[in-house]
Chains A and B, each alone.
Chain A
């Protein structure tokens, strides 16, 4: 008896394979001859786009016998549509071309013998293919060195002779030189062979077309189909795809026209399926995917209702399923070859249909095969060889509509039904669904994929593989839960629960049951009571009640397994509650965001049991982690157990001490665990992991919940926002720190600050260390760079300052001072950090830290500005070289504290010098000043030379000062740059000697000395500008030449005429032979040097 094949509807391999032109190679000894082997291997090497299939013909190869030619179809009645062996004959047995390989050199010494042997070989092949139109070609295999015949007269002659001897055309003779370029020659030969083969197939199609005239529609309908199919196939061999498609389409349409009855239904639809397959395949190859889809649709539409005999209904569905799956494969292949597909049109749908129809097939099987419990007695009705595709072995080749042997027919139907009954439908469905799932995944349809996975799980359930079904379902459940499709989740969960029960998977069973009790999940018959009882039963190591609607036989097996699980370890079942929609909802909350080290950490845990029952929790604890450790804090209530009541919210409390190593770090609630059940029996450990919770609980809007008409308890529970993170901070420190200083500090001084640490703890503190550091502030980002700290005045130390005080006994005070010097006027923030250890009753050597910050404002002690005056104290804006002037620094005191200016000095720059001999003494040394006072100094300097650039400053003015109150302290040296004064050159300098006071009517001399300052003689024209108040004696206008470095005196006598403040006559000078700046300088020099006023005393008359 033939066992049922994997599926009787599967397409025969010859139908699926791509038709390739067949070329037979003869005369190649691929076993013994190395050259021949190389040639054969080159031919048979796979190339991607090949169109020719080569077959090595051994000498003994027998070609199929040619059927006698039929002259008339008049009395011929075809027995079927397509013969099963025809394609095979075409693709494997009858070559389009036989190529005879023969080793021969053109200049072979035994030429004559060779040519005869070759001709005889050709003759023998001709004889073997007698009756077929197979072409014959000869390939002469030659050594590498033989030149091509075109260049070789002898070769050309002998080639011609060979053609004549073998009776072949010259284009059927090829020369294959065996050298390095073998592959290239082979490719060219292959193309040449392909041309010949095409020619042959073309000839064959012509032959078939000739038959058509002999056919008539009444008796030869099958032949119309058959011939068109053959034409299609030959064209495919020819690689003429569009013509092939045309013929296949004719074949398909002709088949549609045949009359179908129950007896030939199977054959017709089988052949229709094959032709449709060919059509779709060609359409995909021709890049007409839409037409392929349309073809399949119309194909299914046409055959959907031709179901054949009802007792074999399953065959119909099997056939449809096969149509879809084959199309899916074609589609998939086309996509892999580059066809673009979209989400709404891809092979997955066709696999899905295939699966659906396979399910229908099973349904049909169930309805019609119920009786077929035994295979019929021999003779086996399914035995027998069938000549045509799709025909029944028990009545081959019979066309009449009524069964000729009803008994045999009945036995055959029974055999088919029996086979169908034993057929594993689930395996087929699962494999189709598997293909579909892969496709849906590729084409971005995750939800479609999920649905199919659920269907697949159902199928596993059907075939009793509950473990696999459960795995699939639990994954899908997760997704539906996450998207809150509770309807779907409920469905999946119910099925998963069945699977878990049947496979006695305790862990899954418990988890699914707990989820089933959740308020989101609907269970069949609203029977949550039963599920709750089942959980209790599991806890008591009893067998839970079976789920409803279970198949009976696995159910009893499951009960066995459940009994076995009772004995098995581990008894504790851990359930991760965070991921499921749970019957128990938990929200933990730290009562505070910060806990001081000496406080208790308190955690509130709110629990809601949404199922209406009483649940006793044996044990519950909170897992809390900190930097250093993970602790489990037990949750306790009065009595041993925590009793939760359905529909109510319970607030539980637990507390723990801080770990002293966690100072300043974060503590977090990681997990809350509730344990159900007895240790001696089974325990369910429910873990609520908080990290995963956070994500799902992000959408709590307590303010919106005010409106909801939910139970009060629910409202409260919903409003609770879990708080799972808190901080541990240092305990409150009972040290008092105070600071005293005379703020503001002055810029540049060593400013003392004293601080005192008073011990307010109950007991002595040890190991006291004080660190004084500077803190950055927005307006003072790098305080270390501008501020120095010291413990003694003027002895800067690295920051932070460390002061060790060792032990401060209770109520004692520790005092210390530090100094601070800042070069910037800003607010300096100083942090005083006292760290110490203390022995407390419950912990020894507890490290404590107290921080204190103080702000110190720094102000300028004074401001320095400068005036420049001439020797007559007139303000000037520039000076001449060697011309003395007075620098007057004004020191304006800004300090609120009284200061003592100890000394001052002016450090002049290089191009100035002191006008006096030696360094002048300060005018304001040892001067006490108060706020808003201004101290003015005066130093006489003169310019030495004119610098290249305009001078920016005259020099540094150094003030040495200290606070008046700080009599023995350090002096501070403050330096200020004094602004510059333009220096100019003048070719001469002038000194004027005149009396300050004269008597009226008394002649006095006015002497003027001119110095030559330039390197050349200076020629001047001097004129006297007289006034009414004076008479004078001397030249009114005179020319003077001042030699370089020399002095020229010019003397006048002046005689005042009026008393009082008078303007004396002035000399004006003009350079005789120079213009420009020198001229101006000379004029200014004269203007400056001559007195504006001379006071004239009246003359007493004696």
Chain B
């Protein structure tokens, strides 16, 4: 079951961290943040290796490469990176990919808001609601 979705900006700052869980207590939220933050290590490593391997090959190859290395972080586009948390991911690869694609679409919608400042945290309640329903659908 997906428990947490995070959108991380280019400079590794969190744009959005949403989690569903039994409680929304501070500890729970904090542990989610730790989890996402430490997952960035793996993401960075992954990106570094793929970049050296296919410097010229563009995003598509990078994406397939990332999919093969399945450690919870999977997907990358030019402007931002999306990772799933590695905890308890029993979802199959394809499902995660679709979910992430939808998340990407939601993200694109959210930042199209002219009142959103790029690089700021995403505060849109609509985005939050949609992402949470996305996570629940993946149960």
Contacts and interface: CB of A to CB of B under 8 A. Distances in A.
Interface of A: 343-344, 444-448, 451, 483-485, 487-488, 491, 699, 701, 704-705, 707-709
A483 B11 contact: yes
Contacts of B115: 707-709
A487 B13 contact: no
A487 B71 CA distance: 24
Contacts of A444: 41, 44-45
Contacts of A484: 11, 13-14
A705 B117 contact: yes
Given A344-B71, A708-B115, A708-B117, A448 B14 contact: no
A451 B37 contact: yes
The 5 closest A-B pairs by CB, nearest first: A484-B13, A445-B41, A448-B38, A487-B33, A447-B41
B30 interface: yes
B119 interface: yes
A447 B73 CA distance: 15
Contact of B33 (A446, A448, A488, A701): A488
Nearest to A454: B34
Contact of A446 (B14, B41, B117): B41
A489 to B, nearest CB: 10
Contacts of B44: 444
Q: Which of B13, B33, B44, B114 has the most CB of A within 10 A?
A: B33
B41 to A, nearest CB: 4
A448 B35 CA distance: 9
Nearest to A345: B71
6 contacts: A344-B42, A445-B41, A483-B37, A485-B13, A488-B37, A704-B117
Nearest to B33: A487
Given A707-B115, A708-B115, A483 B41 contact: no
A447 B37 CA distance: 7
A238 B29 CA distance: 55
A395 to B, nearest CB: 43
Contacts of A343: 41-42, 45
Contacts of A446: 41
A522 to B, nearest CB: 9
Interface in B59-104: 71
B104 to A, nearest CB: 22
Given A483-B12, A488-B34, A707-B115, 8 more contacts: A344-B42, A444-B41, A445-B42, A483-B37, A484-B13, A701-B117, A708-B115, A709-B115
B11 A445 contact: no
Contacts of B13: 483-485
B40 interface: yes
A707 B114 contact: yes
Interface residues of B, number: 22
A430 to B, nearest CB: 19
Nearest to A483: B12
B58 interface: no
B117 A448 contact: no
A484 B38 CA distance: 14
A683 to B, nearest CB: 34
Contacts of A448: 38, 41
Given A344-B42, A451-B38, A485 B33 contact: yes
A704 B29 CA distance: 31
B21 interface: no
Interface in B5-33: 11-14, 17, 29-30, 33
B67 to A, nearest CB: 16
Contacts of A483: 11-13, 37
A767 B12 CA distance: 63
B30 to A, nearest CB: 6
B38 A699 contact: no
A699 B33 contact: no
A484 B119 CA distance: 11
A484 B16 CA distance: 12
Interface string B99-123: 0000000000000001101110000
Contacts of B12: 483
A226 B37 CA distance: 48
A487 B119 contact: no
A254 to B, nearest CB: 35
A527 to B, nearest CB: 14
A487 B29 contact: yes
B7 to A, nearest CB: 13
Given A699-B119, A704-B117, A487 B41 contact: no
A701 B115 CA distance: 14
A701 B114 CA distance: 14
Contact of A447 (B17, B40, B117, B118): B40
A479 to B, nearest CB: 10
Given A484-B11, A487-B14, A487-B33, A445 B38 contact: yes
A447 B30 CA distance: 15
A1055 to B, nearest CB: 100
A484 B120 CA distance: 10
A451 B71 contact: no
A447 B40 CA distance: 7
Contacts of B17: 487
B27 to A, nearest CB: 10
A647 B89 CA distance: 45
Nearest to B113: A707
B19 to A, nearest CB: 12
Contacts of B117: 701, 704-705, 707-708
Nearest to B15: A484
Contacts of B34: 451, 488
